[in-house]
Amino acid sequence: MNKAIASIFTISLLLLFVPSRGMSFGGHFSTQGPDDKQKALPADSDSLPRQYGLVQAGIHLLARSYGDSIVLRWGAEDYVTQRTLDEVGVMVVRYDYNPEGDDPFCDTLVTNLRPWTQQQFDEAYAESDSIALMAKGIMFSKSGLRPDQTKASPGSLASLYEIYQDQMMNQAFRLLVAEWRRDLADHMALRWIDKNVRPGHTYEYIVRPVEYDTTMQLIIAPAILKVENKRYLRPDFNIEMGDTIVGHCRLRLWWQDSGISSFEIDRRLKGETEWHRLTTKPYWNMQPVVDGEELPDSLDCFYGDVVPAPGDYEYRILGHDPFGDLTKPSPTLSVHVPDMEAPRAPNLVLVEIDRQDSTDLAKKVMATFHFEKDTLEEDFTGFKLLYYSQRHTGEEWKELTHGLLPPGDSLYTCDMTGYSTGIVMVAAYDTAQNVAYSLPRMVQIKDVKAPAPMKNFKAEASIEDGTITLTWEPDSLDDDIEYYEVLFANDTTHSFVQLNQGKLLETRYVDTVAMDVNQKYIYYKVRAVDYSTNQSEDTPPLQVIRPTRLIPEAPHLLESSTDSLGIHMKWACSNEQIMDRHILMRRLKGEEQWDTLGVYSADSLLAWENVLDYTDRPAYNRQRDYEYCMESFSCFDVSSGHSLVLSISYAGPRVLPIPIQLRGEYLAKENETVLTWDINGGKAVEGDCYICIYRKGPRDENYTFHISVPADQKERRSSMLAPSQTESYYVKLKFDDGRESRISNEVSVTRPAK
């Protein structure tokens, strides 16, 4: 035994033999204070030391009344006190308190109660009585721990403590054996039965040593206890219970700690009436030690059981109390013990492969499995065939059968088209879904079908690190692809070269390309290879723009001119492959913001030898020049910067196509010619201008300037004609900057004769 045992029984001793004031434990009794003890001392109390009140050790006493008898149980506080009582003997004195209230009558029940000798134990108990053998070892063993046997240095405080622990363990076992067996309690002088009692009477018992130590080295106080003789009724033993299934027909019961130190466990099959005792001797729970430290004593109790067969069982617990009585049974715990025993494993004997289409070996592949099982258990329900291939099933086994095959079957044929070489085995199931497996067997199915071409082949280039990320997807029907191969070329007319090293297992590849190459495109293909080295067709070449930080060359001006039709210019743009677009811009000289005139893709200028021929017709502006420039961008938006600026004046056309409608008539009443006109269809004309009127008189061969009027004037009157004379007119706009409009229509006016 170890320190853990000593500790648990030391705690048990304190729980069982130190009742509190007014506390009831299994019977009816009470304790008294110091004053009561003095009154209840026996007649020969004068022999007690005068310093009796300063006790060093004592006897703990319990009593239980049964109506026809009262049982006393006691025990010393420690090992030394108990050994002293064994040597000097125990005296039991009783005071009888009658109901009439007379003075109590004192009677000495036992004068010198001592334990049996070793010879008496040997004669009374056989060697096969293990509990009696334990009691003999406790009482008469000479193998107690000596100072020279302790782990600590002999004579040290630690050494003395080890000896103390060993002695307390001895005392704890003595008290525990007294709980288990009444006869052993009697023979170890720890129990007395008072049969000369009357129902309803109150008795006071005193248990004391026969002799006191007059040397004052060890003072043992007597135990005093008053008991009313009422019949003891066993209380309910309401403890919480539970179970855990730990294996086939194996379970672990647990129940809460209740202060009881030892138990009996009963079991029966559910539906039966008779209980079967599982314990051949009282069961007590050993307190565990973890990492050298004892766990708290409030832990639950545990008991392992093995039932004869799966089924529903019931359990109950009974406890041994300090008087050797069993408690009432605990509440019944129902436990379902499942069947966890698998059937005997089957044997996979043979696998036959049949390719039914000789023209296409991959078109139809059948497999026939031969298996056997030498024992068919009563609860055996059938077989399943399982197939495993990491490329087909991942981490799982795939069922080849549809449900369970009957127990009597010994072969099964299934379609293995599309499967490749893998592992198969037969599984045997019982009604509780326990399963046993045959030894695995390799099934060789050569795959002659190539994977389908890859789908959704895409690329994404990054100018940040010069990488091109390629992604693709396999056909959803292909599940035997082992790896992929990525190929590249700088031109579709070149031979494609494999890019990846080793086996590419992912549907993604990142290629890092040089970013200082003046080459616009790079081309990629991808293909799949299955576990049988069949290759899929290559994808069509994927054209990808190379990522680059090269700065493209800026455009430059070849020639420029201006006339009334506009400003004409030719720009030479770079023919670099990395070029993406060119932008032509314009602004008035002195301004900051450029206006975009056009954006031209690099490919659109290839047919014109990368020359942009452009004519601009900006608004007329005599005071300020126009400025032009171009900017080019690579495929990754790297700018060339602005080209050199073209600064050029544009006067625009001198004669503007502004429509003017002229009307004229002669008013005879007023003797005046009236001219009216409509300019630009009534719309406003931009710019500062005025109207000029030209006239050809009766004697003139040509038109001459007549007069100018403000632009907002709508008519002109004149009185220059004599009777029967005719005059003609036209008008036009003139602008302050020198431009003018086209002439209006001509009108002729004749003054009538008298």
Tokens of 636: 């990754």
Tokens of 334: 């129902």
Domain 241-337 top-level CATH class: mainly beta
pTM of this structure: 0.48
Q: What is the per-residue pLDDT for 639?
A: 93
What number does CATH give the domain 347-443? Answer: 2.60.40.10
Q: What is the per-residue pLDDT for 216?
A: 58
Alpha carbon 184 to chain centroid, angstroms: 61
**Residue 359, C-beta contacts closer than 8 angstroms, at least 6 positions apart:** none
Length of the chain, in residues: 754
Same fold, 347-443 and 556-650: yes
Q: What is the per-residue pLDDT for 748?
A: 93
The residue ranges of every structural domain in the chain are 3-228, 241-337, 347-443, 455-545, 556-650, 655-750
Amino acid identity, residue 35?
Answer: D
d(CA 565, CA 621): 14
d(CA 635, CA 468): 14
Amino acid identity, residue 635?
Answer: C
The three-class DSSP label of residue 113 is: strand
371 contacts 384 by C-beta, under 8 angstroms: no
512's torsion region: left (phi>0), alpha (psi -120 to 50) or beta? beta
- Topology of the domain comprising 556-650: Immunoglobulin-like (2.60.40)
Angle of the 130-140 helix axis to the 157-180 helix axis, nearest 10: 140
* Pairing, β 740-741 against β 655-656: parallel
Sheet holding 223-228, edge to edge: 29-30, 223-228, 202-209, 90-97, 105-113
Q: What is the per-residue pLDDT for 40?
A: 37
Tokens of 647: 């600064």
Q: What is the per-residue pLDDT for 391?
A: 65
**Residue 520, C-beta contacts closer than 8 angstroms, at least 6 positions apart:** 545, 546, 577, 578, 579, 635
Alpha helices, DSSP H, located in 488-590? none
d(CA 421, CA 403): 23
pLDDT averaged per 10 residues, the chain (length 754): 37 36 31 35 42 62 90 90 89 81 77 91 90 88 76 85 87 86 90 90 90 74 88 88 91 84 91 93 66 54 91 93 87 93 92 77 82 91 90 81 92 85 92 92 78 92 89 80 92 91 92 85 92 87 88 92 88 89 94 94 90 90 87 90 91 84 90 92 87 92 92 90 92 87 92 85
Domain 455-545 falls under CATH 1.10.8.870: no
Phi, psi of 712, rounded to the nearest 5 degrees:
-90, 0
Phi, psi of 493, rounded to the nearest 5 degrees:
-85, -10
User: Closest by alpha carbon to 521, among 639, 638, 634, 640?
Assistant: 634
Phi, psi of 438, rounded to the nearest 5 degrees:
-75, 170
Q: What is the per-residue pLDDT for 20?
A: 30
Give 400-417 as a 3 state SS string: CCCCCECCCCCEEEEECC
**Residue 605, C-beta contacts closer than 8 angstroms, at least 6 positions apart:** 573, 582, 611, 612
69 contacts 207 by C-beta, under 8 angstroms: no
The three-class DSSP label of residue 29 is: strand
427 contacts 397 by C-beta, under 8 angstroms: no
182-to-132, 188, 245, 325 alpha-carbon distances in Å: 11, 10, 36, 9
The three-class DSSP label of residue 565 is: coil
Amino acid identity, residue 140?
Answer: F
Give 263-322 as a 3 state SS string: EEEEEEECCCCCCEECCCCCECCCCCEECCEECCCCCCEEEEEECCCCEEEEEEEEEECC
609-to-567, 574, 575, 576, 643 alpha-carbon distances in Å: 22, 10, 8, 12, 19
d(CA 178, CA 176): 5
CB atoms within 10 A of CB 199: 11
**Residue 468, C-beta contacts closer than 8 angstroms, at least 6 positions apart:** 459, 460, 461, 462, 510, 511, 512, 513, 522, 524, 544, 546, 547
Domain 655-750 top-level CATH class: mainly beta
